[in-house]
Chains A and B, each alone.
Chain A
Amino acid sequence: MKPTRCCLAACLWGGLGFYGPVAHAAELVGSGALAGSSMQVKSDTEIRYHHVPEKLENFEDRNIHDYVEQVERLNLLISKQGLAVGLQVDQVALFANRYMLDDELYHSVNLYNEEAITSPFPDAYVTMEKFFVQRRFGGAAQTEMTFGDTYASFGRGMALNMVRNTDIDVDTSIRGAKAVVRWGAMDFTAVSGLTNTQQVSQDFANADIDLDTPHMVSGARFSHYGLGPMQVGVHGVIYRFGRSGDEDRPALTRYQNESPLDAVVSGATIELPGVLGVDWFVEGDLFGYGTSEFSGSEEPLLGTAVYASASAYPGKTTVLLEGKRTKDTERINAFATPEGWEVANVPTMEYERVITEDGSAAVNSNDLAGVRMRLDYAAKPGEFVPYVAVGAFRDEDVSGLHFNASPETITHSVGGLQWFKGERVVQVNGGYRVDLRDDAAECMDQLAHIDGELHFPLFGEESLEIAVSAKRFWWGNNLQQQQDFTEMENALGLHHGEKLVVLVYQDWSDNPLVRSEGNIDDSLYGAVEVHYKPKPSMKIRAFYGAYKAGIRCSGGQCRSLPGFEGGRLAVESTF
C-alpha cells in the first residue's frame, strides 16, 4: 500500500479529528528531525451502557442508577531508525450519571475522587497515561536508552516484575530512565524512576479516579550468556514507597525522610540449557525490609526466595519440574497491593485460571514451599498432546485472606489434552485441588474444575465454537465459613468466515463472595455478543447482557473483577 504523505502537524491534528477524515498512518516528510519517520496510530474505543438493577426509594419505576461510560485509548508511535517516540492518551467520560429533580440531586456516579481531584469537567477525564522516547545506538541496538515510561523485570520476576498485565488490565510502568547495553554475550540493564499506575481502566467501570501515589524503584541487572553452557545473572533493586498524602508533595521531596530506603532486594540466577539433556534454571533472592510497615514488627525482617526449574524432552515426552521456597517475599507488595498491582511476583506454579478467593493462598503466601511437575506426551506433535500435572504446596501462612487458622498442605492435580486437526480444535483441562489443614477440626477445602473449548466446521464458511468452564468448591470449617458454591462460564459461538462471530454467553454463580446479581435470576447471567472484522486490523464488538463478578488471576496477581449488566460497543483499530 502506498503511504499517505502529510506533515507532522497535520497528522497529529488529523489524528485528533480536528481536520476531519484525513489519512494518518504515514511516512513523515520534511527537513526536520522527524523527516523520514513512520507513525502508527492505534485506537480502542468503547461505549458502555451500565444497567444497575437497584431501585431508588420512591422512584421504583425508573432506572436512576443507570449511566453511560465512554472510554478511548489512543496509542501513537513515531519511529525512525534508532529512535522511537510513544504516547498513550486515555480518555473517559460519563453520561447520564446524575439524577436531579427540581434542583435536588438524588443520585450520582462520580468519575473522580472529589476530595483529591477538582476539575471544571467533573464527568470527563483525559490523561497522558504513558510517554516514552527510546534511542538505540550501535546498529542492532547494542545500547538502548529509554526515557519516560518503561518496564523492567529481573530473573523470574521475584525481585522486580513491573510489566504490563493486560489479562487483568494492570499496567504500572516505571516513569524515569532505563538503559540496556548488550555487548556480545553480556547484557546490562539499569532502571530508575517513579511508578506510574494506569488510572483509566478499559475493562472495568471507571469511578472515583484518584491521584497516584508514586513509589521510587531503582535496579540493575548484569547477565552473561557465554560461560560455556552456563548463563549467569546478578541483580539488585531498591524500593522507597510513597505514603498516602505524598502525592501532594513535589516529587523529589517525597522521599527525603529519615528512612531513605524501604526495601532492598538482591539476587542471582544460573541457567544451564541442555546440560545432560535438561534445561536447568535456579534463582535465589534476599529481601531486606527497612520499616515495620511491611510486617508490623519492629525487628528487622529478612525475606528469602528460591525458585528452580528443570525441563527435559525425552522422546515424545516433555517434563517440566518446578520448585520454590518463599518466606516473607510477598511483603514487598504491601504498598502496591492495595492499589491493585504488585512490584514483584514469585512464579505461582498454579493453574491460575481456577484460583478462587481461598485458593489465592498459593499466590499471596508469605511462607510457602512447593513443587509441581507437568508431563506432556506429544502423540502427534502440534496436533494431539495430552498432559498431566501435579502440584504440592505447604502453606504455613495463616494471615490475611487465607481462610484457615492452621497451616495447610495443598495438592492440585490437573490433566487435559489439545487436539488440533485443520479447523477442528479440542482443548480440555480438568482438575481437583485439596487444601488439607493441620488442625483436623478445620477439615479441608476442595475444588473440582473443568474447562474446555471445542471448535468445528459446520458447512460452507460456518463453524461452531463451544467453550465451557465450571468449578465446584467445598469449604472446610473455619471462622469465615462460607457456603459451598458452583461457578460456570459458558459460551456458544457461531462463526461466519473470518469476519463475523455471534456469541451467546451464560454464567452461573451462587458464590456469596461474588458481588453481582444475574440478569435472568439471582445466580444466572445471560448475554449476546457480535464480533465483526471489516478488515484484519479492525474489530468491532457489540455486547448486550450481563456477566458475573469474580476473581481472576494472571501473572501472579489476582484481581477482583466487577460484574456487568448492560450494553457495550467497542471498536479496536490499528492504522
Chain B
Amino acid sequence: MNLFDRLTLGAARVATMLCLFGFWANSAHALGELAPDFTLRDMNGQMVSLSDYKGKVVMINFWATWCQPCQVEMPHIDKMEKELGEKGFAVLSISTDDARSASKVKPLIKRNGYGFTVLLDKESTVVTQYNPGKVLPYTVILDRELRIQNVHTGYNPGDEVGLKEEVEHLLGAAE
C-alpha cells in the first residue's frame, strides 16, 4: 500500500471518527443556558458569588499573569466597566494562576489601576467548568438573567469593539 492509499484510507477513517464525535453535527447550536453559579474569594479574601450579580450584564474574563494577550485585553475591559458600570454592567475577572503565582496577581492589578473585581481560582474549580480548553483569555458574556449569551476565546487587538457592542446590546435590550 503506497502513501497515497494509506492517506486516502486514513482520511476516510478520520471522517468517520469526526462524525462519531459530533464535529459535523455541531453546526446548529444554541447558547442561552444558565451560567453555572460559583463562589470564590477575591484578592482581599471576601467571598463573591456569581448569583450576587443577577440583574446585571456580566462579563466573566479568565486570565493569568503569564498570559500576554490577557494583559493586552485587560485595559479595554477596565475601560468598558468604567463606561458602562452605571448602566448595569459588571466584570468578574478571574485569575487562573495557580497558588504559586498568587503573589503576582494583586501587584499586576494595582500597577495598572484596574477597578474591576478580581477573583482567585487557584484550584481550577471554576475555569474547569467554563473553559475546559486551554485558550486564554476566555470571556463569557451573561445577560441580566445570568444566561450565557456569548463566548470569546483568545484576544486580538480590536476584538474589544465587538465585545463592547455585545454588552451594549444586552444592556439596551433589557432597558
Contacts and interface: CB of A to CB of B under 8 A. Distances in A.
A153 B98 contact: yes
A27 B37 CA distance: 16
Contacts of B148: 40
A84 B36 contact: yes
A136 B37 contact: yes
Contact of A182 (B6, B47, B52, B135): B47
Contacts of B72: 420, 425, 427, 455
A337 interface: no
B128 A345 contact: no
B28 A21 contact: yes
Interface in A1-54: 1-4, 14-17, 19-27, 38-45, 47
B113 A537 contact: no
Given A25-B30, A81-B37, A453 B68 contact: yes
B17 A313 contact: no
Interface string A404-426: 00000000000000101011110
Contacts of A156: 99-100, 102-103
Interface string B72-102: 1011001000000000000000000011111
The interface residues of chain A, by DSSP majority, are classed as strand
9 contacts: A17-B22, A25-B30, A41-B26, A84-B129, A93-B14, A151-B125, A320-B103, A382-B74, A574-B153
B158 A572 contact: no
Chain A to chain B: the 3 pairs with minimum beta-carbon distance, closest first: A95-B10, A38-B33, A381-B113
B132 A75 contact: yes
Interface in B26-54: 26-34, 36-39, 41, 44-47, 49, 51-52
A190 to B, nearest CB: 13
A251 B9 CA distance: 40
A407 to B, nearest CB: 24
B36 A554 contact: no
Contacts of A497: 158
Nearest to A36: B34
Contact of B24 (A21, A169, A279, A374): A21
A322 B27 CA distance: 50
Interface of B: 1-3, 6-7, 9-11, 13-14, 17-34, 36-39, 41, 44-47, 49, 51-52, 66, 68, 71-72, 74-75, 78, 98-104, 106-107, 110-114, 122-125, 127-129, 132-136, 148-154, 156-159, 162
A148 B70 CA distance: 31
Interface stretch (A61-69, A390-398, A442-450, A472-480): A61-69
Given A77-B129, A96-B9, A382-B113, A25 B49 contact: no
Contact of B25 (A20, A91, A345, A374): A20
A112 interface: no
B33 A164 contact: no
Interface stretch (A285-293, A346-354, A507-515): A346-354
A495 B156 contact: yes
B89 to A, nearest CB: 18
Nearest to A185: B45
Contacts of A75: 132-133
Contacts of A322: 103
Interface string A538-575: 01000000000000001110000000000000011111
